[in-house]
Amino acid sequence: MKKRIAIFASGSGSNAQKIMEHFKYSDTAEVALILSNNPESYVLQRADNFEIPSHVFDRHDFFQTDDIVKLLKNLNIDLIVLAGFLWLVPENLLKAFPNKIINIHPALLPKFGGKGMYGDRVHKAILEAKESEHGITIHFVNEHFDEGEVIYQAKFKVESGDTLEIIKFKGQQLEHLHYPKVIENLLKKYN
């Protein structure tokens, strides 16, 4: 029986797209649901293009009820993947899916992580700090922003003259290459 993935995203959903592409013809796993806290997010169109159901929720649903947990349990979700999802995951969801929620962060954690550190904010901080390397971190999710156990990291060299757009592009290339593979390898470990 195929493993079932739920992806949470708040924005464009380029990582979600790569994950949907990766598992589209897979015998081992499938993306069963896309969830978003943003009814205007492009990830919902991407889900529609792949004929994958989507669900939009608000702060109340996510933080004050068990509706999301029930939905995911009813769909027999094996792994929750955060792909550009900007809210802290509540305790009820963490307890319902222990070590089965992962996130991707556009930096080499523990550097440049934490509340408010996402997207261009991270890349600008890297440039301002004159870091010589940059990269991505895939990690388990816990009750704190970007502090869960690291699963995988990939790096690239920051060249002199690299702009925000260049390091953002290099990072996204790593995200799109590695996130689907890490998800697949994780799912192989689950019964």
Binding residues: 13-15, 103
- From edge to edge, which strands make up the β-sheet containing 54-56? 54-56, 29-36, 3-8, 79-82, 101-105, 133-140, 150-157
C-alpha 120/C-alpha 101 separation (Å) is 24
- Looking at 105, 134, 139, 178, which residue is catalytic? 105
Q: Is 176 among the residues known to form the active site?
A: no
3-state DSSP percent of the chain in helix, strand and coil, to 5? 40, 20, 40
Residues 6+ apart with CB under 8 A from 163: none
What is the number of other CB atoms lying within 10 angstroms of the CB of residue 132?
Answer: 10
Residue from 61, 95, 97 nearest 77 by CA:
97
C-alpha 72/C-alpha 28 separation (Å) is 19
Reported as type and span, the H/E element at residue 136 is strand 133-140
C-alpha 88/C-alpha 81 separation (Å) is 13
Binding residues for (6R)-10-formyltetrahydrofolate are: 103
Q: So which residues are the catalytic ones?
A: 105
